[in-house]
Structure 1
Amino acid sequence: MFERFTREARAAVVGAQEEARELGHGWIGTEHLLLAVLRRPDEPGAATLARLGLDSEAVRAASERLTDRGGDGVDETDAEVLRALGIDLAEVRRRAEETFGPGALDRLTEPPDERGGPRSVLPFRRGGRNRRHRRHLRFTPQARKSLELSLREALALKDNHIGVEHLVLGVLRSGDRLVGELFARLGLDPKTVRARVIAELRRAA
């Protein structure tokens, strides 16, 4: 399938790995694919996202929040619910750091698997400080699904190549929960965005 990718689409797939490393993530997810295509705002599909106000900085910030780079991985509403159950997140963090050292809870976990369960903790650090883990990163099942869907999107549009626009459509069609939450935080609906991308591609054809 990869031989059908245009040069720009291939660069976006490679860029997804770079985005994952920059965020200090031990996986390549749909959020990283989205960030990579946003690097190419002049490409079809990505241009539509840019016109809708999506930019890499906003998506990166939302992704960091959702994948727990800067806190306890829950928003204030969740924290209130936990407090009502007698769980004080600040105290949990304090005790963990007292026992295991500063930043003990800042290790990343991979995103939930397709059943919603957590994956193993990965000793991966932002900026490559842990060089032992500067290895090839694996795509999550959701990201692989997005790539597979990009082929289907190309076939549906009767295109004989897979371009950035098809990557965008694949991500939007993937149904990945994280992408849905990313778009919700940015005030957009993936299905509406997908329809807009298709409409603009057809007008340009």
Structure 2
Amino acid sequence: MPTAPGLPPTVPSHGLLPEAAANLRRFTRAVSALRDLPQNPHSAPLIRQILRIPALATRLVGLVPFPLPHWYQTSPDEIVVRDRSFNAYEYRHFGQFQTRLNGWIRPISTNVHVDLRFDGRGRRDLGLKGVVSRQGPLTGTLHFTGTDRVGRAWTLQIIMEGLLVNDDGYPSGGTLRITGTDPLQRMATRSVTFPQPILEAPTNPRDRRTRRSRQESHPKP
């Protein structure tokens, strides 16, 4: 069982460290893939981006990393069934190798509704239910549940309110709230209102002693 990093929260209230800012950019791009999937429901890169959302979110709140199914790849001879009565794209055992996708995604008016489940080898699985805005600022709620290969459970809730995302993926406005639990019975919640400055990365103090002084302070046995 991996342990959660013993570091301060990666989303401090006064700004974000560069590593957290990079994860946040990846996170917003992954969430945006939900908007693009109805236009290209066969896209393996978009589906893999969606798979990354919970792992990136747990990094932002400092929980044990969310378990992901094995590498996802679509098969060229498979099709996505469109249920015309509900105007939704439905997946039925979509994929090849060790991970299959079931569920549906449905654009309705200004939102995209989603109910997907990835089934991997052993007990690995990942479920996603929620809704996200189709255009403009990112607004919506996503619920994730997942288990690893031995059945340990994770839960995650992501709430976005008016996230204004720049071209580089970094938000310039809005609110992001992430709540989750991991198998260590740890619960973490982070709520951030943007804009937030990106802080400078901490640096180790430079040892200004001469080489001889360093050798004298650490003599060889």
User: Greater RCO between the two (CA within 8 Å, min separation 6)?
Assistant: 1
Q: TM-score, normalised by structure 2?
A: 0.28
| Pair member with larger Rg | 2
Q: TM-score, normalised by structure 1?
A: 0.29
